[in-house]
Chain A
Amino acid sequence: MSYTLQFGQVTGYLPYLAGGAWISLQIAFLAFCGGMVIGLFGAMAKTFGNRPLNRVVSGYVTFFMNTPQLVQIYFIYFALPDAGILLTSYEAVLIGMTLNAGAYLTEIQRAGFESVHRNEMEAAETLGMSLMQRVRYVVLPHIARVLFPPLSNQYILMTLGTSMAAIFGVEELTGRAFNVNAETFRSIEVFSLTAGLYIIVTLIATLILGLFGRYMFRAKMRLY
């Protein structure tokens, strides 16, 4: 063993790294919100849209789900300038993650729409509910309960996915870990501390989302 662990040099950077974790959560949140909007339209187009529209959305989803997010961002960041579209690295990462999330969230939301059963709607109709009432009291609560767990899961996965922003120089948690590593050369300590922060952040996110889902939507969710 030629390496002795010295966490002392690194712990001083903990607030700096924690700040990076906060930025990671923000990037994930922005991309998730953007992806939700795309996904909502995508899922509606796939469920109710006509054939050409359906084709376009399917093509988008299939392409983004079958290629790596990293290369998608490479393309946006390095190739689009050729077409006259200049983006900062932060913008490129955010756009790439949003488009990628949009594809996955289209699929998740479409599955949620499809889980609304016709007979549930018919039962609501026989109770004399209007269309608005049916949507409000039957469809939306049902969709929320079905969709919330996979959406939470996707959010957690996206939080981990933000680490690739570091490759483009964005100073989120992993980016800051690279910085600290370059200053201290205590690589194992820096990256195990970083890993620990990701574990803590996602554990907290899982707990909060789980509690929220359980009490707001009576969704079946694990809390850890």
Chain B
Amino acid sequence: MLARIVAEAPEFFSYYNVVFLLEAMLATFALSAIGCVFGFAAGFFLAVSRRTTSHFLLPLRTLTAAFIEMFRRIPFLVTLMMVFFVFQGLGLDISMFSVALISVCLIATAFIAEIIRAGLESVHRTQWDTAAAMNMSLIQTLRYVIMPQAWKIILPPVFSFFILFIKDTALASQIGVVELTYAGKVLNNKGFSAALVFGAILILYFIISYPLARFGARLEQKLAAARNS
């Protein structure tokens, strides 16, 4: 096994293969990063909509709760398939990258909405009451009172989710998105040994994920130590 890896290595690390792998790494990173940025914005909206109180918005709250509960309980692979076939059924021709990105956005929205909901609830109820008694609107309460206190509870798990999804997007290779795992399959099909190819792919994932994980751990420590202001 080792002898074969050593023999194949020079050819494997050709200029074209390296560029191919770097582009695939970028796609892997982009899928998770864009998905999480979108997920944060949409998740924030959903988490806040659950805190509204008017009877008029009850359907919105119910739908939001159902969305969050459902998409956290469907495997990424199944979500990918559903999104793929829905667009196919609608007769819309979109790229596989878009299909994967939409799937990541859906799941990220549900998970991050739940993280933000927990973060908002971590701020004591009396802070909400006090703001209400002072006539602050929901937006003002969030902006001036709640978010300045909640963000350090929210940020670490959101960042962990982002890193988790860098690895989970490997499943997007199944519908032909050219990301890191798909690149591995292509090179394996070209005849390079599986040990060399998938060994290299594992290391490349590690190179993306590990520094981010270290950064996330440092971030969490810093936020935990930081004062409220």
Direct contact of A and B (CB under 8 A): yes
B134 part of interface (Cβ distance < 8 Å): no
Q: Binding site of B, secondary structure by majority: helix, strand, loop or mixed?
A: helix
Q: Please count the residue pairs between chain A and chain B whose beta carbons lie under 8 angstroms apart in the complex.
A: 122
Q: Select from chain A the residue with minimum beta-carbon distance to B202.
A: A67
B195/A82 in contact, CB under 8 A? yes
With contacts A3-B90, A67-B167 taken as known, whether A82 is within 8 angstroms of B82 at the C-beta atoms is no
Chain A residues whose CB sits within 8 angstroms of the CB of B198 once the complex forms: 71, 74-75, 78-79
B194/A188 in contact, CB under 8 A? no
Q: Smallest distance from the beta carbon of B156 to chain A beta carbons, Å?
A: 14
With contacts A71-B184, A79-B194, A79-B195 taken as known, whether A167 is within 8 angstroms of B75 at the C-beta atoms is no
Q: Which of B34-92 contact A (CB under 8 A)?
A: 69-70, 73-79, 81-82, 85-86, 88-91
| Interface size range on A against B | 35 or more
B77/A202 in contact, CB under 8 A? no
A161–B199 alpha-carbon span in the complex (Å)? 22
B205/A66 in contact, CB under 8 A? yes
B213/A75 in contact, CB under 8 A? no
With contacts A68-B205, A192-B82, A195-B79 taken as known, whether A1 is within 8 angstroms of B167 at the C-beta atoms is no
A135 part of interface (Cβ distance < 8 Å): no
Q: Select from chain B the residue with minimum beta-carbon distance to A178.
A: B81
With contacts A191-B85, A199-B73 taken as known, whether A70 is within 8 angstroms of B181 at the C-beta atoms is yes
Interface mask (B189-216 → A, CB under 8 Å = 1, otherwise 0): 0000111001101100110011001000
Q: Which of A42-85 contact B (CB under 8 A)?
A: 62-63, 65-72, 74-75, 78-79, 81-83
B7 part of interface (Cβ distance < 8 Å): no
Q: Smallest distance from the beta carbon of A144 to chain B beta carbons, Å?
A: 23
A81–B188 alpha-carbon span in the complex (Å)? 14
Q: Smallest distance from the beta carbon of B26 to chain A beta carbons, Å?
A: 16
Chain B residues whose CB sits within 8 angstroms of the CB of A63 once the complex forms: 202, 206
Across the interface, B201 reaches (CB within 8 A) one of A71, A164, A194, namely A71
A155 part of interface (Cβ distance < 8 Å): no
A148 part of interface (Cβ distance < 8 Å): no
A81–B173 alpha-carbon span in the complex (Å)? 23
A2 part of interface (Cβ distance < 8 Å): yes
A122–B17 alpha-carbon span in the complex (Å)? 61
Chain A residues whose CB sits within 8 angstroms of the CB of B22 once the complex forms: none
Q: Select from chain A the residue with minimum beta-carbon distance to B75.
A: A163
B89/A188 in contact, CB under 8 A? yes
B171 part of interface (Cβ distance < 8 Å): yes
Chain A residues whose CB sits within 8 angstroms of the CB of B171 once the complex forms: 70, 164, 167
A68–B77 alpha-carbon span in the complex (Å)? 14
A164/B184 in contact, CB under 8 A? no
B205/A71 in contact, CB under 8 A? yes
A3/B89 in contact, CB under 8 A? yes
A74–B183 alpha-carbon span in the complex (Å)? 13
A224 part of interface (Cβ distance < 8 Å): yes
Q: Select from chain B the residue with minimum beta-carbon distance to A202.
A: B73
B206/A163 in contact, CB under 8 A? no
Q: Smallest distance from the beta carbon of B226 to chain A beta carbons, Å?
A: 22
Across the interface, A188 reaches (CB within 8 A) one of B70, B86, B184, B188, namely B86
Interface mask (A182-224 → B, CB under 8 Å = 1, otherwise 0): 0000011001101100110011000000000000000000001
B194/A78 in contact, CB under 8 A? yes
A174–B82 alpha-carbon span in the complex (Å)? 12
B174 part of interface (Cβ distance < 8 Å): yes
B210/A66 in contact, CB under 8 A? yes
Across the interface, B170 reaches (CB within 8 A) one of A71, A162, A224, namely A71
Q: Residues of A at under 8 Å CB distance from B?
A: 1-3, 62-63, 65-72, 74-75, 78-79, 81-83, 156, 160-164, 166-167, 174, 177, 187-188, 191-192, 194-195, 198-199, 202-203, 224
Apart from A71-B198, A160-B74: 8 A-B pairs, beta carbons within 8 A: A3-B91, A66-B206, A71-B181, A74-B201, A78-B188, A162-B75, A187-B85, A195-B79
